Amino acid sequence: MIWARLLILLAPFAAAQSLDFEVYRTKVEPIFLKKRPTHARCVACHVEANTAFRLQPLPEDAKGWSEEASRKNFAVVSNLVVPGDPDKSRLLHHPLAHEAGGDVFHGGGRQFRSKDDPDYRTIADWIRAAKPSN
């Protein structure tokens, strides 16, 4: 009995952790840094701009964030993601072109022309692999 109760209590924490940090760090985060044709890099705006998608400052010349900074980014990004559901995840929905099912307006433009964009798919796969939180 007591164990069953404990499991119920712990379930939300397990779900919150179901987004994979290693995949985030090696596959997803590099996309925020990547120079993608015809687009400014996410990091160019999302360190300074006061939005819910606020990345840690990146030291000049650095190829990426320290693990500690990555963990902070991961926490921020996780709040913009619905585990298991890329379509409902603001991180992807907001910068996706409206015609492709995204939001009407993103201050940083249509970063993903469609859901077939390889970077969109990498992020979507990461979200899909996580368990839904209910």
Q: Residues in the site for ligand HEC, rule: CB under 6 A?
A: 40, 42, 44-46, 49, 51-53, 80, 90-91, 94-95, 105-108, 111
Query: Cβ of residue 55: shortest distance to ligand HEC, in angstroms?
Result: 10
List Cβ neighbours of 130 (8 Å cut-off, separation of 6 or more): 18, 19, 20, 81, 83, 84
Distance from C-alpha of 124 to C-alpha of 112, rounded to nearest angstrom: 12
Q: How far is the CB of 53 from ligand HEC (least distance, A)?
A: 4
Using the structure block, give the residue that is written with the tokens 């963990």. Answer: 71
Nearer to ligand HEC, 52 or 129 (CB): 52
Two tokens at 5?
A: 């109760």
Q: Cβ 123 to ligand HEC, closest distance in Å? A: 8
- The residue at minimum Cβ distance from ligand HEC is 108
